[in-house]
Amino acid sequence: MHLEKIAVEGGNQRSWWGLWLGFFISLVVLGLSAGAIYTGHAWEGATGMSVDVVALAAVFVYGRADQRKERVAKDAQTQLSRARPSRQEADSSV
């Protein structure tokens, strides 16, 4: 039980670090792109901003699809365990 708690908390902490680092990197790219536009490099700046926005959208879409797959797999596993009696239930009914 303690090991599970550590694993879940570690995953949670990595998730938050990933969110904050992704936010920071996105702001840096947007800032550099805005700087490029300001200094007269419109195409380069616009390309940088576009890539940043598309990458953020792709990460969220991929994350949602991955969460959906995980939920479906867990639901199937839960239904399978409900349909099959546990070993203790089978032993006690005899």
The pLDDT tens digits for 40-82 are 999 999 999 999 999 989 988 888 888 888 888 888 887 777 7
Question: Computed over its alpha carbons, how large is the radius of gyration of the chain?
Answer: 23
Asked if 49 contacts 33 with a C-beta cutoff of 8 angstroms, the reply is yes
pLDDT at 42: 96
Would you say the pTM of this structure is higher than 0.85? no
Tokens 């940088």 sit at which residue? 48
